[in-house]
Amino acid sequence: MADRFDVIIVGAGPSGSVAAANLAKYGLKTALIDKETFPRYKSCGDGITADGLAVLDKLGLGAWAEQFPAFEGLRFSSPDQTIVSIPLKTDRGQLMGRTIPRHLFDNQIAQFALQQGAKFMQGIKVNHIEYLEDGVLVKSENQQFEGQFLILAEGSNAPLAKSLGLVTDGPELMAARQYLTGDAVNDPFLEVHFQSSIIPGYNWMFPVGNGRINIGTGTFQKRIKNRELSLREELERFKSDPILRGRLDHTEPDSPIEGHPLRTQFGYSTTHSNRTLLVGDAAGLVNPFTGVGIGPGMMSGDLAAKTIQRVFDNGLINTMNLSDYTNALNQQFASARKAAQRLRKFLSSPSRLNNLFSLLKQDPTLAALLGDIFFDKKPATTAFRLETLFKVLPRL
């Protein structure tokens, strides 16, 4: 006989665990299932932007996050090696985010969901979903669970969402990262390098504290499949790139190079069906210009929990309508994600990037705007306002 729950969540990343914590707080019997055993390592840039920290604070975990490095500044470079540095904290009085290794971050939220009353089941790979007359049946190889609602938080590959016809295509982007340690990597600025070898895409170097950094690279998945480039080779090349001024010469790898896909196709997936909601990367919420996805994913987990709570509060479980969730996602993300796609396409030219960075070097306000857009502090639609276009277009 299957264990019964009000809500079953598949995937204990930030979006799934945020949903689980909130649903358990509401008093709903909640199952949080993940194929891995936590804490587990997750390939990622490790940047938690302000929107994600805000959700963390609402959960009551804001103080826990304060032990990790804050984003103090952002350093961009263009293909011609023009460097633009943007102070994010000291000069502007804002906390834009923190770098928190994912194995610590994800485990903290999942354990918090457990503390709120969710049943956290690890090492269970769900391989089949079946809709019942009054619920959903979730099956692994040896176990099965019944729930009135299902939240799929299974990441960018989204195999279960594909099996249900909610997702029809593969992730658009692919990234790879590696940790390095050494004495020469204590610069508190996050670095994003738009280089001819990886455009459209970028290379990064993010400090994670204690002399440790996360370096990575990312671009379109189709370029890798077509063998236009190898992310592993690009990452190795980047380590000795002149733009880094030899700062990695005395570092050592602290992890293997690991890759991860990024689903950015929000609006091309069905984010709700009869008894199912998609959250996080599975819903295509990764920013197509920046690759930022943790904060938006956490916001979607919060929205999903609120939607399901309202269904139970209204006593309309058998005639529920989950479209409120998709409407809320569209209101929050639709126009911003379309603008981010336009911005990515517009800035896929090395010459345009070179001209833009020459302008940013002279205009700190415009440079600060790019920083805000990059970390989802402001939507990409801001870049297409008339006053911004009048500044930028004559120079590109």
**pLDDT at residue 158 is higher than 90:** yes
Q: What is the pLDDT of residues 260-285, one digit of tens each?
A: 999 999 988 899 998 999 999 999 99
Q: Of 297, 318, 340, at which residue does a domain stop? A: 340
One domain, residues 32 and 115: yes
Is residue 57 situated within a structural domain? no
From the CB of residue 2, how many other CB atoms can be counted at a distance below 10 Å? 14
CATH code where residue 314 lies: 3.50.50.60
The residue behind tokens 């415009």 is 366
Is pLDDT larger for residue 37 or for residue 393?
37
One domain, residues 38 and 145: yes
Q: What is the pLDDT of residues 126-138, one digit of tens each?
A: 999 999 988 999 9
Alpha-carbon distances, residue 215 vs 146, 193, 231, 259 (angstroms): 42, 11, 12, 12
Q: Note the pLDDT of residue 90.
A: 45
Is pLDDT larger for residue 187 or for residue 249?
249
| Share above pLDDT 90 across residues of the chain, in percent, rounded to a whole number | 75
One domain, residues 29 and 127: yes
Q: What is the pTM of this model?
A: 0.94
One domain, residues 277 and 332: yes
Is residue 63 situated within a structural domain? no
One domain, residues 285 and 189: no
What's the CA gap between 167 and 218, in Å, rounded?
Answer: 22
The answer to whether residues 53 and 142 touch, using CB atoms and an 8 Å cutoff, is no
Is residue 67 situated within a structural domain? no
Residue 382, both tokens? 């801001």
**pLDDT at residue 324 is higher than 70:** yes
What's the CA gap between 339 and 100, in Å, rounded?
Answer: 28
Q: Of 323, 340, 357, at which residue does a domain stop? A: 340
Going by pLDDT thresholds of 50, 70 and 90, the confidence category of residue 377 is confident
One domain, residues 118 and 11: yes
Is residue 245 situated within a structural domain? yes
One domain, residues 142 and 90: no
One domain, residues 247 and 361: yes
Q: Which residues contact 362 (CB under 8 A, 6 or more apart)?
A: none
Q: Note the pLDDT of residue 388.
A: 72
What residues make up the domain containing 28?
3-46+101-169+263-340
Q: What's the domain count of the chain? A: 2
**pLDDT at residue 148 is higher than 50:** yes
Segment 159-174 mean pLDDT:
95
Is pLDDT larger for residue 88 or for residue 390?
88
Is residue 306 situated within a structural domain? yes
One domain, residues 77 and 10: no
What's the CA gap between 19 and 109, in Å, rounded?
Answer: 10
Is residue 371 situated within a structural domain? yes
Is residue 21 situated within a structural domain? yes
DSSP bridge partners of 179: 214
Is residue 51 situated within a structural domain? no
Task: State the DSSP code for 44.
Answer: S
One domain, residues 309 and 183: no
Q: Which of 40-54, 160-174, 251-265, 374-388 has the lowest mean pLDDT?
A: 374-388
One domain, residues 130 and 246: no
One domain, residues 86 and 124: no
Amino acid found at 28: L
Q: Of 303, 319, 340, at which residue does a domain stop? A: 340
CATH code where residue 81 lies: 3.30.9.10
From the CB of residue 332, how many other CB atoms can be counted at a distance below 10 Å? 17
Gyration radius of the chain's alpha carbons: 21
